[in-house]
């Protein structure tokens, strides 16, 4: 993602200076850009970089660009992308499908179009002129191919408009492009008309995909059946579409993009002012209700602020400020940015962050909120220094979650804007590190290869177009002086793909009236809206160590063994006043937290039944302010408790080995899937023999369908989405699937269960059941295959009694449990379950938390009258399970890998019931045993069954 253009070092004028109001600029555009152009003279304590060193690094960026661009043109053009390991072009349909990633490819020389304006920024005007001639001559936009509307808009339409913008600038200068007659603009208009049919929905939200040749016409288009799209996909169109309208005078493009934005605004969650990740394009219902600033939403926020800058419509600024206030209230936990539920914004939706949020500090610079931008950027930089690159996703304790890194430019973007805003040479050193890492770890003979795993340094045969479009642009601008650029970069705004759109469009062909539609939906408080240029004296106090003082507490946070053992990073270093303890951060095992509670007049009581209870005594608080903090903490805890109780989670599922010599005695706890057959609605479950798929990761077409057909396919976790694995094995004829964790040693005994989520698209086409096994449980099946070759399993919502499994088969009575009659199996199981629950101790029982406000309940009431506080009881499996262990083990590192997976609450009662129904004499806690031990226990059964088989034969 990208921000508005910044000025050269020290080259900006003051906010109030008349020189800053250039001809053709709108007032709002200048106000939004003034921060970037005026604050760069500030120094913040870091040692300055010499002019020679800056020039050397700038030249190194140029050399790196030449290496990447030259190899694309030599080995890949006219293909969409370069495959740098095999030195050839990636042509869609000729390489194995990568799923949604390939939706960006349309056989329209994507990388060349995406790189056009980068050539001019890097002062390669001759190469630019040649590239434009190639695009005009060779590129075909009428291919029968289905592409992503979002990717085609930001990369191709944006690339053509960016190329047109700099082409007319060069032509006006009189040295280059004198032959140019708006050819790129005409191609952009042609493409715009090809994308317009996607907006033919009742909501105005576009379909996520469209056929370049046939649009949405069925059946030729092979698309148009989708029901869902991501918020960023529908909300990242206004800059390119409005620019196209204003360049051409054709209003339909801007009107369509505005309608989509209006609908998203109207559908925001009104109490939190947040938007979800995925929305139904026909009904407007939120399909995925988690909210953050990363993948799926990121550029929606970016385009609201930049639409205000480019188009001069204050309603966009009002919307952005409303959202921004919600982001800082709920999502921002400096230096972290964690997803929350839009209806339950105090509840985190996941425990990891994705790399796309790295754009956000740059957007905060444009907003004028520097401190949190510095904090988050520094945290990201520490992650990079640990892993050389920013992993696609990493946990809150800074462990790798998704290990890939496709050479994303968002961190370089934020580094550039922070340098332009602060003038701090520290960010030049950050840029130097990025350059060194790219050359050391990603450079290959035919370009730069994406990292397949930042932990091992392995490569992927991939060099996305955004690497050339954005990475080199931002790195070069970071080290370039104003005289190094042949035009004034401050006359342009960057799109999310870093394409240049001239700011004079704000006063050209204003085909859409600037009606303030925002206030039709809500009453807004103007007090927090920035209508004028930020005061740099407030942003940057006269303290040369300002930025450094913000960064310093974060220097070693990634290397700390227990970084989440404190409420916020600042506190562990004692820098500045400690913020109030928030309910979502509270850990009953943290002594510091207990001390804070005591100061707030909140006491913690351990009840006889093992629960923990909080009681507030305002009179015992250290001060009136502490008492207020205590009251707020109790209110948050009550709200958090209520939210957790309402949280609906799928229960764990069961994988039961029913073949010889196990006969249903081995029951493995499995994580469910949010897609495919709902095993709770199919009581008989799915039974079949297991077979390993080839490839074992299940991420491409199955090459051994004759082996998998009619069986339950085993796959290894990783490298693609769960839903993609399911589709591949279903296509091969499998009747079910089991995904086995690739994290060595992981087990449901130690790691929290989670449910496998879909891929953000409609998964109704997946009809087979899918379950997930941790590594330890999965190895039991794999070891059984090695020992016995054929292994039959039963996938079900809960373990079945063996009398049901083997009904109608001649088995000796002692194969079943001797104390149970077949006819009354369920009744006995229920009775035993009830008895066991009385004595069974579980994590949730011992950690149940209840909250009492002393203002409404007498001091003795929490213990003597528990019914009076029952609404505040908290299931700690939801609140504390991820926080009781402040130093997560390696088993937690890749708890969620293939998709956006939702952690499941421990469900001891369900487990207890399942345990009793499946085998009252077998402890659920011992569900995972060494194979030798299991077989030794059952020698008698095995011998009896083998004898019976001989008799039958």
Catalytic annotation, residues: 151, 298, 392, 410
Q: What is the DSSP letter of 745?
A: T
Quote the strand ranges of 467-577, DSSP E. Answer: 492-494, 500-502
Q: H-helix or E-strand containing 305?
A: helix 298-311
Sign of CA dihedral 697, 702, 707, 708: positive
- CB within 8 A of 486, min separation 6: which ones? 120, 123, 125
Sign of CA dihedral 888, 891, 896, 898: positive
For 425, list phi and psi in degrees, rounded to 5: -65, -10
Torsion of CA 140, 238, 155, 359, to 10 degrees: 180
The partner residues of 493 in beta bridges, in order of sequence, read 4, 501
Report which of 919, 888, 167 is spatially closest to residue 561, judged by C-alpha positions.
888
Torsion of CA 149, 150, 153, 155, to 10 degrees: -120
CA dist., res. 769 & res. 527, Å (int): 53
Torsion of CA 663, 665, 670, 674, to 10 degrees: 50
Q: Quick one: angle between helices 158-173 and 110-121, nearest 10?
A: 40
Token pair, residue 702, equals: 């199955």
Sequence-ordered alpha helix ranges (H) in 438-503: 465-466, 472-479
In the numeric block, the tokens 């960006």 are attached to 104
CA dist., res. 225 & res. 106, Å (int): 20
Contact between 741 and 774 (Cβ < 8 Å): yes
496 annotated binding-site participant:
yes
Give me the half-sphere count of Cα atoms (radius 13 Å) on the Cβ side of residue 906.
Answer: 22
> Exposed, middle or buried: residue 28 (CB in 10 Å: 0-12, 13-18, 19+)?
buried
- CB within 8 A of 59, min separation 6: which ones? none
CA dist., res. 769 & res. 145, Å (int): 32
Query: Degrees (nearest 5) of the Cα angle 886, 887, 893?
Result: 115
Report which of 536, 432, 420, 410 is spatially closest to residue 485, judged by C-alpha positions.
420
CA dist., res. 285 & res. 342, Å (int): 13
- CB within 8 A of 196, min separation 6: which ones? 252, 253, 256
Within 10 angstroms of residue 925's Cβ, the number of other Cβ atoms is 10
CA dist., res. 813 & res. 709, Å (int): 34
DSSP per residue, 60-91: HHHHHHHHHHHHIIIIITTSSEEETTTTEEE-
CA dist., res. 260 & res. 153, Å (int): 14
CA dist., res. 133 & res. 163, Å (int): 11
CA dist., res. 948 & res. 693, Å (int): 34
> Exposed, middle or buried: residue 577 (CB in 10 Å: 0-12, 13-18, 19+)?
exposed
CA dist., res. 476 & res. 479, Å (int): 5
Sign of CA dihedral 778, 781, 786, 787: positive
Q: Are strands 492-494 and 278-280 parallel, antiparallel or unpaired?
A: unpaired
Q: H-helix or E-strand containing 550?
A: helix 546-551
Query: Degrees (nearest 5) of the Cα angle 108, 109, 112?
Result: 135
Question: Binding site, residues?
Answer: 496
Question: Binding site for Ca(2+), residues?
Answer: 496
């Amino acid at each position: 993602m990208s921000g508005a253009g910044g000025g050269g070092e020290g080259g900006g004028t003051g906010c109030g200076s008349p020189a800053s109001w250039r001809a053709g600029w709108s007032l709002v555009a200048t106000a939004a850009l003034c921060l970037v152009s005026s604050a760069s003279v500030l120094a913040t304590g870091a040692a300055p970089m010499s002019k020679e060193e800056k020039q050397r690094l700038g030249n190194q960026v140029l050399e790196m660009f030449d290496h990447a661009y030259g190899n694309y043109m030599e080995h890949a053009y006219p293909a969409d992308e370069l495959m740098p390991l095999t030195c050839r072009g990636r042509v869609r349909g000729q390489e194995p499908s990568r799923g949604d990633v390939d939706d960006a490819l349309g056989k329209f020389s994507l990388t060349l179009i995406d790189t056009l304006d980068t050539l001019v920024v890097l002062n390669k005007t001759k190469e630019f002129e040649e590239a434009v001639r190639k695009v005009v001559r060779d590129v075909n936009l009428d291919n029968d191919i289905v592409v992503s509307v979002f990717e085609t808009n930001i990369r191709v339409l944006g690339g053509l408009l960016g190329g047109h913008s700099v082409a007319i600038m060069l032509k006006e200068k009189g040295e280059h492009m004198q032959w140019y007659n708006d050819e790129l603009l005409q191609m952009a208009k042609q493409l715009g008309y090809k994308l317009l049919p996607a907006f033919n929905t009742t909501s105005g939200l576009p379909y996520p995909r469209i056929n370049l040749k046939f649009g949405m016409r069925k059946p030729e288009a092979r698309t148009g059946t989708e029901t869902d799209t991501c918020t960023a996909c529908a909300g990242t169109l206004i800059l390119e579409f409005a620019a196209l309208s204003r360049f051409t005078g054709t209003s339909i493009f801007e009107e369509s993009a505005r309608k989509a934005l209006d609908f998203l605004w109207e559908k925001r969650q009104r109490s939190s002012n947040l938007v979800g990740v995925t929305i139904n394009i026909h009904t407007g219902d939120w399909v995925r209700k988690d909210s953050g600033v990363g993948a799926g939403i990121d550029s929606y926020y970016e385009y609201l602020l930049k639409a205000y800058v480019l188009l001069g419509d204050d309603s966009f600024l009002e919307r952005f400020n409303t959202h921004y206030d919600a982001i800082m209230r709920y999502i921002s936990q400096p230096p972290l940015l964690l997803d929350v539920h839009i209806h339950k914004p105090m509840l985190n939706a996941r425990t990891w962050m994705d790399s796309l949020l790295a754009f956000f500090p740059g957007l905060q610079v444009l907003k004028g909120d520097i401190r949190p931008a510095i904090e988050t950027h520094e945290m990201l930089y520490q992650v990079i220094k640990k892993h050389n690159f920013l992993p696609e996703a990493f946990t809150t304790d800074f462990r790798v979650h998704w290990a890939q890194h496709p050479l994303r430019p968002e961190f370089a973007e934020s580094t550039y804007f922070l340098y332009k805003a602060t003038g701090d040479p520290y960010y030049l050193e950050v840029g130097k590190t990025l350059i060194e890492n790219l050359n050391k770890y990603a450079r290959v003979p035919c370009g730069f290869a994406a990292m397949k795993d930042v932990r091992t340094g392995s490569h992927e045969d991939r060099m996305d177009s955004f690497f050339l479009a954005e990475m080199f642009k931002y790195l070069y601008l970071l080290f370039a002086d104003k005289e190094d650029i042949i035009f004034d970069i401050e006359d342009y705004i960057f799109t999310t793909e870093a394409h240049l759109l001239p700011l004079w469009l704000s006063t050209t062909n204003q085909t859409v009236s600037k009606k303030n539609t925002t206030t039709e939906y809500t009453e807004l408080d103007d007090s927090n809206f920035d209508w004028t240029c930020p005061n740099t004296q407030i942003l940057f106090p006269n303290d040369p160590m300002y930025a450094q003082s913000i960064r310093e507490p974060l220097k070693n946070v990634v290397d700390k063994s227990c970084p989440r053992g404190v409420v916020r990073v600042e506190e562990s270093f004692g820098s500045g006043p400690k913020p109030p303890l928030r309910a979502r951060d509270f850990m009953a095992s943290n002594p510091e937290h207990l001390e804070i509670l005591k100061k707030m007049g909140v006491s913690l009581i351990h009840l006889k039944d093992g629960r923990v209870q909080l009681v507030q005594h305002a009179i015992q608080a250290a001060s009136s302010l502490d008492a207020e903090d205590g009251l707020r903490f109790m209110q948050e805890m009550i709200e958090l408790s209520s939210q957790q109780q309402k949280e609906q989670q799928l229960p764990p599922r069961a994988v039961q080995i029913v073949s010889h010599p196990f006969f249903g005695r081995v029951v493995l706890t499995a994580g469910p899937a949010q897609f495919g057959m709902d095993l709770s609605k199919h009581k008989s479950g799915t039974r079949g023999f297991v077979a390993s798929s080839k490839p074992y990761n299940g991420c491409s077409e199955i090459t051994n369908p004759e082996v998998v057909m009619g069986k339950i396919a085993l796959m290894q976790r990783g490298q693609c989405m769960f839903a993609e694995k399911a589709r591949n094995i279903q296509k091969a004829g499998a009747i079910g699937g089991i995904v086995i964790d690739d994290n060595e040693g992981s087990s449901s005994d130690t790691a929290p269960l989670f449910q496998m989520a879909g891929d953000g698209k409609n998964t109704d086409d997946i009809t087979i059941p899918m379950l997930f096994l941790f590594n330890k449980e999965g190895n039991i099946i794999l070891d059984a295959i090695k020992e016995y070759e054929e292994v039959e399993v039963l996938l079900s919502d809960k373990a079945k009694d063996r009398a049901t499994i083997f009904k109608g088969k001649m088995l000796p009575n002692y194969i079943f449990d001797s104390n149970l009659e077949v006819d009354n199996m369920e009744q006995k199981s229920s009775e035993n379950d009830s008895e066991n629950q009385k004595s069974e101790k579980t994590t949730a029982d011992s950690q149940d938390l209840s909250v009492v406000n002393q203002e409404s309940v007498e001091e003795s009431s929490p213990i003597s009258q528990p019914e009076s506080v029952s609404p505040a009881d908290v299931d700690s499996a939801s609140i504390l399970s991820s926080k009781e262990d402040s130093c997560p083990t390696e088993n937690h590192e890749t708890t969620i890998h293939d998709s956006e997976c939702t952690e499941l609450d421990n469900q001891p009662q369900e487990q207890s019931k399942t345990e009793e129904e499946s085998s009252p004499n077998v402890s659920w806690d011992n569900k995972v045993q060494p194979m030798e031990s299991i077989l030794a226990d059952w020698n008698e059964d095995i011998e009896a069954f083998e004898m019976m088989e001989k008799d039958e034969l």
